[in-house]
Structure 1
């Protein structure tokens, strides 16, 4: 393709390589990029992709992130899109350009200069980050599982505390090491169960003086009346019952007012001394989306879009996933920030952008709630399948729920890697489970 023709081709730029953004880039690359009908560019600040719902397993050490990461450059080559490394920090709607901050190496030396990328259609799919609601000390004294780096930092602290517990009998005055998880949503409860399972396994790897029940205490704190407040009450009760059966302490109706190096202070006056604090309560879109060249956003920085996933003030800019506030209809709440939402939006938007190039109208997005699944490691999996029967939902648990939770990840892998490569990687995972320790020990 010569330069003149290339400049005339429609340019679709996608910012954010999470579940929705990457799936969209792959779909458009195969449909438009391969045939030269459009130039598809994916932008991300990281060089690799990891499915975000797996971060709690990385933190607990039950998943080696290197086994599941995919290189964006390799994905781009095999799926006919371009990849640009960088973090978006600005936008010019008049020039139709986005701006990427300089990329630095581990020593702070500039690796890539400031960049400008042009677009005809822009899709912002930057996901979300943890919302600490301005709680004093939260950002300084707790770990927020927003990234792979944060999950790996938590894992190192956990392993170190377990090693330190080996000498606990010799250190006068030391009690149980406490991990406090603030937030009783899916991330919080899944992390708690994985941690309990990890420490039990760890004690069998030569840490003869480390006793999970005696040396480690896991606590969940949530301001809502019950865990998993947004999910069906029956599912919530089942999860709470399972957590308490493995000695995980649960505090509901407790608002955290301060996080210090010593622990967590609640509004009720209760104080929990803590060695590690994980903040997993609430989300917000990245801060720089607020007032991004006049685009409308809500109080948690989400870009406001219409049913076509177009931003309200610029029809050439779209948003999907956790970073957008998408209406469902009159009297209904916005589409919930879940992985299934991002997947459905990516599928709809891929069809819409193809139709747009054909001179056809955009499709309206309709969210279909397929239910929720919560995994408690090897202990249990529970879920609610929506729309399964006329009355609305079917409650499932046990082996069926475990299989369906596993299949969610596989579904994402198929969307990104294709069926054959997913089949191969699944066999590789099975072999690795036999060859490697059950948890990551470093």
Structure 2
């Protein structure tokens, strides 16, 4: 069973519970609840039920990326203006030339060589994609001093990156928040930004997966248990392996641009504050035995009348956990109390899809803000009368509250 589907327009992976792609935001599934078939890119109707589709007939346009280099100086310095309009693919091909300018940073003055006399040079040209890729594949020529500066940024002499600085063979993060809404996203964004910056500074791929892990540890963003999993996911989608090293592929470069937009947007809320969490006590979480897992899977087979409650509408870890406990304890009467692991496994087995992690489940059930819904009994939990009434109101047709999972995950 699969929990994701591939968008027919942009090929991004999207949760199978959604009717619209989370990347390009186009409709990918028929919204008729009796059909819900995958749509075919560019077609004006659903080939499952024949319903006309209005929003999926227009694929997202391929917009040009404008690269602008504007250098102004007084006295003996140069004044320069260069503009390049290129597609996403062209950005990838031109990375050795414009890669040093992709990441935003404070401006820095140009320094004239001592041997050069006082002069002022103004260059202004708008270059289209067709003009850039001539038969000789030659790039537009820049003044010598400007070319020297581009070379400096790619050999590791550039100290203007707002996110990293060189420390021996590693890069050290100069920021803590990478705008990821969960601890997992914080680590994923760190990995991609690190790969981009490393290639920019050292002009070579990140040497190994162990290098990524050590760099994340230096940045205090490392989750030793799950970091290898996040890195493997990114390797399959956004990183290319060259020899024993790793560098961004075309999709990875596009994703880094998206992350940088988040990083630089003052209106985007801060990410998950992993640095405020207390260190792990070192105790292992109790794991379900094979017998316990089989028992939970047997519970999940039994039919349950969910009334008006649509499972696909659940978004918050707290609400997932409440519904899971309600079914096990009050509808199926299989137990008086349930552990976090049992509750999570049951919901996943029963409904096949869930948009939060088992860690989010655990934090939601132990969150002090949710004590009016959950009661602990040792390492297990049961619903309070208020929690039971809340779920029954959803079953009766009352809509679920909208909210953000991060409250459940952070425990704040």
The TM-score normalised by the length of structure 1 is: 0.22
The TM-score normalised by the length of structure 2 is: 0.24
Larger radius of gyration: 2
Which protein has the bigger strand share? 1
Q: Which has the higher contact order (CA 8 A, sep 6+)?
A: 1
